[in-house]
């Protein structure tokens, strides 16, 4: 009988640590946690919180008068070469009228894609919009320059490049009082530019900052008194 009780006591001593470990929450949480990836769960995605890339500096925005090439891949019937109308719009099959003026080509691509969603059960084919002829980007240079006129550079230029396209300033040009007249809706804005420091003898790099070299926008008029 004593031997039997002794055996029971030994057995209880052996199983007590294991039972205490399984039932003690503090001991259970002391185990290293298994990573979601190791457990088979999908890792948390960070794409949803990532900001959309900003357009690069100087990216071309569509103007009235520009000629656009539009392709919907795999759909020959939806490939078009269209001209942006004076009111800034284009017409596209199955979508209708789209305001394109002032937008990036990639933004017009998104507008067309959204307009075509009802026409497809699955994913809309890739839409590509490119500016074939940026003829809507125009500005004028008047006053004391060698070749005044209206220019279509096909890209963004600054006021110094605009004067170069007009043949440069004439002999008695007042480069301390160059004016840029810009349309802003129904209003006109006037900006003053000082270019004289750039043309003086012995000028240095600090003169560039003082010159206030502005970028020319479509429809601008540069006046050199």
pLDDT per position as a tens digit, 60-103: 999 999 999 999 999 989 999 999 999 999 999 999 999 999 99
Average pLDDT of 114-123? 93
Say yes or no: domain 67-133 is CATH 3.40.50.2300: no
pLDDT in tens, 121-148: 899 999 999 999 999 999 999 999 999 9
d(CA 93, CA 79): 10
Q: Is the pLDDT of residue 41 over 50?
A: no
Query: What is the per-residue pLDDT for 79?
Result: 93
- Outline where 24-153 has alpha helix (H): 25-29, 105-116
Query: Looking at domain 139-224, which of 3.40.50.720, 3.10.560.10, 2.60.120.620, 1.10.3470.10 is its CATH number?
Result: 3.10.560.10
Would you mind telling me the total number of residues written for the chain in this entry? 225
Mean pLDDT of the chain: 78
Task: Over range 3-16, report the average pLDDT.
Answer: 45
Q: Residue 36: its pLDDT value, please?
A: 38
Residues 6+ apart with CB under 8 A from 33: none
- Residue 51 pLDDT > 70, yes or no? no
């Amino acid at each position: 009988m004593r031997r039997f009780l002794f055996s029971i006591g030994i057995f209880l001593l052996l199983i007590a640590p294991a039972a205490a470990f399984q039932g003690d929450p503090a001991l259970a949480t002391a185990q290293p946690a298994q990573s979601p990836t190791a457990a088979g769960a999908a890792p948390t995605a960070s794409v949803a919180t990532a900001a959309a890339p900003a357009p690069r500096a100087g990216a071309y925005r569509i103007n009235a008068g520009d000629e656009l090439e539009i392709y919907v891949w795999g759909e020959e019937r939806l490939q078009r070469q269209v001209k942006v109308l004076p009111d800034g719009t284009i017409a596209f099959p199955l979508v209708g009228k789209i305001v394109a003026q002032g937008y990036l080509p990639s933004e017009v691509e998104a507008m067309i894609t959204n307009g075509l969603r009802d026409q497809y059960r699955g994913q809309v084919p890739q839409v590509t919009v490119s500016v074939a002829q940026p003829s809507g980007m125009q500005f004028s240079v008047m006053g004391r320059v060698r070749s005044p006129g209206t220019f279509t550079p096909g890209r963004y230029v600054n006021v110094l490049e605009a004067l170069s396209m007009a043949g440069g300033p004439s002999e008695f040009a007042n480069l301390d009082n160059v004016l840029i007249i810009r349309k802003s809706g129904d209003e006109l804005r006037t900006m003053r530019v000082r270019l004289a420091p750039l043309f003086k003898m012995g000028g240095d790099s600090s003169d560039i900052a003082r010159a206030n070299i502005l970028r020319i926008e479509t429809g601008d008029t540069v006046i050199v008194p």
